[in-house]
Structure 1
Amino acid sequence: MLEVIAETVADAVAAEAGGADRIELVAALSEGGLTPSVGMAAIIIEAVRIPVHVMIRPHSRSFCYDQGDLLAMVSDMDALRRVGAHGFVLGALEASKDIDKAAMRLLMKAADGLPVTFHRAIDDTPDLEASLKELTEFKEVNRVLSSGGKPDVRTAMKEVVQLREAAKRYGIVFMPGSGLAIESIIPFVRATGVDEIHMGTGVRERDEQGRSFVSASKVAVAKANLIAAKAE
Structure 2
Amino acid sequence: MRDILLEVCVDSPCGLAAAIEGGADRIELCSALCAGGLTPSAGLVAAAAGAPVPVYAMIRPRAGDFAYSQAELEVMARDIEAARDAGLAGVVFGAVGRDGRLDQSALRLLMARAAGLGTTLHRAFDLVSERAQAIETAVALGFERILTSGGAPTALQGLDTLQETVALAGGRIAIMPGAGIRPETVDTLLARLPVGEIHASCSVAEASPDPRLAALGFQPKADRRTDAGLVRALKRRLMAA
Q: TM-score, normalised by structure 1?
A: 0.92
Q: In the alignment, which residue of structure 2 is the partner of 1:181?
A: 182
What's the CA shift for 1:68?
0.5
Q: Tell me the residue number matched to 2:239.
A: 227
Counterpart amino acid of residue 25 in structure 2: D
The structure-2 alpha-carbon separation of the partners of 1:203 and 1:222, relative to structure 1 and needing over 3 Å to count, comes to: farther
One-letter code aligned to 2:230: K
1:42 aligns with 2:43: no
Once residues 216 and 172 of structure 1 are traced to their aligned partners in structure 2, the CA distance between those partners, rounded to angstroms, is 29
The equivalences for 1:205-224 within 5 A come to: 205-206=205-206, 209=209, 211-224=223-236
| Matching residue of 1:53 | 56
| 8 Å contact from structure 2 (residues 83, 90) kept in 1 | no
1:54 alignment partner, SS class: strand
Give me the whole-angstrom Cα distance separating, in 2, the residues matched to 1:159 and 1:29: 24
Cα-to-partner distance string for 1:146-179 (whole Å, 9 max, x where unaligned)? 011222211222221221122234x210001112
Q: Is the 8 Å Cα contact of residues 123 and 148 (structure 2) preserved in structure 1?
A: yes
1:35-114 mapped onto 2 (5 Å cutoff): 35-46=39-50, 48-114=51-117
Per-residue CA shift, 1:27-71, capped at 9, x if unaligned?
01111110011221111122x200100000011121000010001
**Paired residue secondary structure (1:43):** helix
Secondary structure of the 1:2 match is strand
Name the SS for the 1:137 alignment partner: helix
Percent of residue pairs identical: 35
Structure 1: runs of 5+ lacking an equivalent: none
User: In the aligned structure 2, how far is the partner of 1:155 from the partner of 1:40?
Assistant: 32
Higher helix share: 1
Runs of 4+ in 1 over 4 A off after TM superposition: none
What corresponds to 2:204 in structure 1?
Answer: 204
| Counterpart residue number, 1:165 | 167
What residue identity is the alignment partner of 1:216? Answer: A
Q: State the aligned residue count.
A: 225
Contact 1:4–1:23 (8 Å) recurs in 2? yes
1:132 and 2:135 matched: yes
Relative to structure 1, is the Cα distance of residues 208 and 64 closer, same or farther in structure 2, using a 3 angstrom cutoff?
A: closer
Unaligned 5+ segments in structure 2 are 210-221
Aligned equivalent of 1:24? 28
Query: Using the alignment, how far apart are the partners of 1:220 and 1:12 within structure 2?
Result: 14
- The AA in structure 2 aligned to 1:162 is E
Q: What is the TM-score normalised by the length of structure 2?
A: 0.89
